[in-house]
Structure formats: structure tokens, C-alpha cells
Amino acid sequence: MILHHIALVSLSKKIKPERLASVGAALQKQAIRDLGPIWGIKATVDVFPHVNSVPVGYWPIIIKDKIDDETAAGYHTDKHGQPFSLVAYTEDWSITVSHEMLEMLVDPFGNRLFTSDSIIKGQGRAQYLVEVCDPSEDDRFGYSINGERVSDFYTPEYFDPVKTTGTRYSYTGFIKEPKQILKGGYLSWYLPAKDEWWQASYFGKKVKFENITSDTERMRGSTVRSKMDRLSIIKRREIQVSSGSRKEASDKRRQANSDNSAKAKHWMQEIDRASRKKPKA
């Protein structure tokens, strides 16, 4: 099994080094404990102070305060075909970084397809773009690791032909059946017989099905996934993110800070006790 290396770099003035380290640790745990056993992937996640310090062979995820072209946020490949991701800073940046990491590890080169029946009756067989976070990408469907919010992701069984009892379709269990799309999510597929790209998106009051062939042709990007990322950003502009999910994330973060402070105090007391000179007899 190939060991992949992810580099987490912040160019944002809003992220303190200790917070970046905390999110990096959460992502490492997610990659090893959660994603790895389900998708057969091994990966390391390391934090670096600047892009210049990222070693050769690492795939960087770079956080910036602002990206001039907002549709440029997401997955990219360099001129040698190696993956990297750009993330624009928001309150929920840890979930976005988690999303990018998970999809980069499962589909490093942005063109992995999985063949299954189309979710539209009569279309026949389809090839689904493997974007493991997109159907449940809204913040409310994420979960916490060490007090940091991370993204949900689907399992390989997501593309099963029928629903079966006891099957896990996403890590959190919010996805209840194959090819289900949750509020704020989407799913893209290709029809080889017609040479068409289609998408089902749940950005409004109900799931919308549309032929996006012409949209993908005019989108910039060197891979199918980079084109879909740009297109989804445009479509998501109208989404109203749940204030409840933001409050939950904020509350959990405050609790984690409180727990960490208590633990730090404990360790400082232990260090002081261990290093204190013993009185002479």
C-alpha cells in the first residue's frame, strides 16, 4: 500500500499556529482511523509554516485569507499532474480542509469514476465521479475529532445497486442509502452512450437534475474534478448555511479549548512536580 503525504500550510493571518497544529492532528487521526480502513489508504498529515518548507513528494493544502477568483478554491493539479488544493479562510475552514484532504486521498488525480446504474430511470449505466464528500458536504453532516469539525465522507458501498440492512453508506451514517444526496450536496456522473455529464444537486428546496455538459466544457480546469469544483462554487452561492450547524461547531470548539486548557494545566503541574528537587534527608 502506497503511503501518501499531505502538507497543511496556512498563509492566512487569521489562523494561529496552535490552531493549525490542532486541525492537523485531527486530520491525521481522520486519515488513519476513519478513512484508511474504509478505503484502503495510508497517509500522513503534517503542518508546515510556509509553502517553501513543504518537502518534495507532499501534496499541499494551502489556506489563504482570500482567493481573488473564488471559483479557484478547491482541487487543482500542477503542471506535472500532481495534486494540490486551495482553501479560502472561513469560520468553517477545518471542515473545508478535511473535505479537500479526503477527496485528494481517495482520488488524487481528479478523474476516478465508478460504474453503476444512473439515479435517473432510463439513463442506463453511468460512471460516477468519485468525490467522497460532496453528497453530504454541508457542515451539519460533519463530526468532531479532538474538538475540531471535519467532513463526512461516503464509503465504497455508496454505489451499491440496492439498499441493504446494516450497510454503512457514509462515515457518520447521515447517508442512509446508495447515491443519496443530502441538503447542500451534489453528485456528478457521465453517460458514455451519450457523451454527456449530468449532476443532481440539492442546493434549493429539492434535488435538481440537470445536463451540465455545456457547463463543464466552459469551466477552467485540467481534470474533471477541478471543473466540478468550480461549477459547484457557482451553484452554491445561493446556499444559506445553517446557523445551527455553525453554532454547534462554535460550541464544540469552545468546549475543546476548555478541555485543552485543563489538560495543559495538569501537565505543567506534573512537569513541575517531576523536575522539583527533593529535600535532603
| Grid cell 453528497 in the structure block, residue | 135
Q: 10 Å Cβ neighbour count for 142?
A: 27
Q: Is residue 87 part of a domain?
A: yes
Q: Is residue 77 part of a domain?
A: yes
Domain with 20 in it: 3-246
Q: Is residue 281 part of a domain?
A: no
d(Cα 31, Cα 39) in Å, to the nearest integer?
A: 10
pTM across the whole model: 0.84
Q: Is residue 278 part of a domain?
A: no
Domains contained in the chain, number: 1
Per-residue pLDDT of the chain (281 residues; tens, 9 = 90+): 799 999 999 999 999 999 999 999 999 999 999 999 999 999 999 999 999 999 999 999 999 998 876 666 677 878 888 999 999 999 999 999 999 999 999 999 999 999 999 999 999 999 999 999 999 999 999 999 999 999 999 999 999 999 999 999 999 999 999 999 999 999 999 999 999 999 999 998 999 999 999 988 888 777 888 888 878 777 766 554 444 455 555 555 555 555 556 555 655 565 455 555 556 65
Q: Is residue 76 part of a domain?
A: yes
d(Cα 63, Cα 160) in Å, to the nearest integer?
A: 35
Q: State residue 3 phi and psi, 5-degree precision.
A: -95, 120
d(Cα 99, Cα 120) in Å, to the nearest integer?
A: 27
Q: Is residue 261 part of a domain?
A: no
Q: State residue 235 phi and psi, 5-degree precision.
A: -70, -30
Q: Is residue 92 part of a domain?
A: yes
Task: Write the DSSP symbol of residue 54.
Answer: P
Q: Is residue 235 part of a domain?
A: yes
Question: Nearest-5° angle of CA 235, CA 220, CA 180?
Answer: 40
- Cα→Cα distances 103→12, 130, 218, 233, 269, Å: 22, 8, 23, 16, 42
Are the CB atoms for 98 and 143 separated by under 8 Å? no
